[in-house]
Structure 1
Amino acid sequence: MERIGLTGGLGMGKTTVARMFHLRGVPVVDTDELARKVVEPGQPAWQEIVAAFGPGIADETGRLRRAELGRIVFSDPGARRTLESITHPRIRQLWHEQMTAWEQAGMERALVVIPLLYETGAERELDRVVCVACTRASQYERLRQRGWSDREIEARCAAQWPVEEKMARADHVVWTEGTLLATEAQVDRLLERWCRKAG
């Protein structure tokens, strides 16, 4: 089975492009969803995070205060490394397990969405990488629409590799600057190319 990684910059359209692949029959696992799963109350990662950041990092229901945790880790590289050392190995184990299950089920290819793909060295475990990208101006505008301040955007972008470097390393780039139809056409061309090569 062909294991495909999908990455890109914040707000550049990874979720949208992953959904397009899914609608075309490619199974998709998103590590952002797995990241939420591994920190559910009572999970080992949750317990380690509360121990590392203090009981106040969880609300009265036991769920992590994600906004507060984000504020801490994106302003303190040491805190971010602590959080990543707790969550990343568990997330990686889960997406590997999912890929193995799909392979055993006879799938031709599957896709994993990993925002920090190159930062975590995950490209070594994949057959090809697709980078989703747009201009910096569009990125900022999209993230502002989520309610993020420019300061928040800059801090979070600084925690990732520049998208230009991700684009240079990737096997394919999907450019999301245009319409959804234009993005879909790029996804269709990639699938056609992969199927032709496999055939």
Structure 2
Amino acid sequence: MQLIGLTGGIGSGKSTASRYFENLGCAIIDADVIAHKVVEPGSKAWKEIVKNFGQEVLLPSQQINRQLLGSMVFSDPGKRKILNQCTHPYIRREMMLQILWNFLQGKKFVILDSPLLFESKLTKWMKKVIVVYCSEQQQVDRIVKRNNFTEDEAKQRITSQMSLSEKRSMADYVIDNSGTLEHTRLQVVDLHQKIRALSHYHGLHLWILIATLFILLLFVLLLLL
């Protein structure tokens, strides 16, 4: 089974591309969904967050106030590092469990959707990396509209991550999400075909290798008889 990394930046449209891949039947491991799951009230990560940031980061429901916590850590690299230490070990463990589950199901490839694919050094495990790209101004405009942030708050979120241009330079494939949704969808369809062909080729290559080794082993056994 091959791992295909899908990443981008906040507001770049990564989630849109991920949804299109999912609509095509691809198995998706979504780091954002996992990040929400591991901080459910009472979980180990939740307890570590409360311990390090205090009860004020909790809503009356005891859920983490993600907007408040985000405003605290995105302006402070030290606090952001502490938050990552609270959550990343549990996120990675859940990712590994989901990868194992998909492997046992016989999936030929799985898409790992993560905004911090490069920053978390996960690219070394990926067969190919896809970056969803748009201009920084488009990122700002989308974040302001979606999250009701000011432009300064949006730019703060963007600069807390590796720049999209840097990610783009290290990608195997780039999805240009600066145009229409249909343009993005068609790029996803094209990439889906390429990834399927790649996984099919490598799958055949593996079976040919296994068959060759089996024949050689059988030949050796016959010589020994």
Q: State the TM bucket, normalised to the shorter chain.
A: over 0.9
Residue of structure 1 equivalent to 2:211? none
SS at structure 2 position matched to 1:112 = strand
Aligned match of 2:67: 67
* Paired residues of 2:140 and 2:155 also in contact (CA < 8 A): no
Structure 2 match to 1:157: 158
Aligned partners of 2:135 and 2:80: how far apart in 1? 26
How far residue 189 of structure 1 moved from its aligned partner, in angstroms, is 1.3
Partner of 1:11: 11
Deviations 1:99-130 (A, max 9, x none): 11111101111111110110110101221110
- Quick one: which amino acid aligns to residue 179 of structure 1? T
Whole-angstrom distance in 1 between the partners of 2:195 and 2:67: 39
1:188 counterpart residue number? 189
Q: How far has the Cα of 1:16 moved from its partner? A: 0.6
Unaligned runs of 5+ residues in structure 2 are 202-225
RMSD after superposition: 1.1
Cα distance, 1:137 vs. partner? 2.0
Q: CA deviation at 1:59?
A: 2.2
**Distance in structure 1 (CA, Å) of the matches to 2:61 and 2:196:** 48
In the TM superposition, what are the counterparts of 1:118-129 in structure 2 within 5 Å?
118-129=118-129
Per-residue deviation, 1:52: 0.4
Equivalences for 1:87-98 in 2 at 5 Å? 87-98=87-98
Query: 1:194, CA displacement in angstroms?
Result: 2.1
Deviation at 1:162? 0.6
Residue pairs, 1:103-122, within 5 angstroms? 103-122=103-122
Does residue 133 (structure 1) correspond to residue 142 (structure 2)? The answer is no
Deviations 1:126-175 (A, max 9, x none): 21110001112221111111211111111111110010010011111000
**Offset at residue 187 of structure 1 (A):** 1.0
The letter for the 2-side match of 1:124 is K
Q: Is 1:43 aligned to residue 47 of structure 2?
A: no
Name the counterpart of 2:145: 145
* Equivalent position SS for 2:117: coil
C-alpha distance in 2 between matches for 1:52 and 1:194: 42
Spell out structure 1 runs of 4+ moving beyond 6 A. Answer: none
Distance 1:194 1:67 in 2: 36
Seq. identity, %: 37
Q: 1:178 Cα shift?
A: 1.4
CA distance in 1, matches of 2:57, 2:182: 42
In the superposition, the TM-score normalised over structure 1's length comes to 0.96
User: Aligned to 1:129, what secondary structure does the other structure show?
Assistant: strand
Unmatched segments (≥5 aa) in structure 1: none
Between 55-64 and 110-119, the greater mean CA deviation after superposition: 55-64
Q: Which has the larger radius of gyration?
A: 2
Per-residue displacement from partner, 1:1-53 (whole Å, max 9, x unpaired)? 11111100111111110011111111112111111111110000000100001
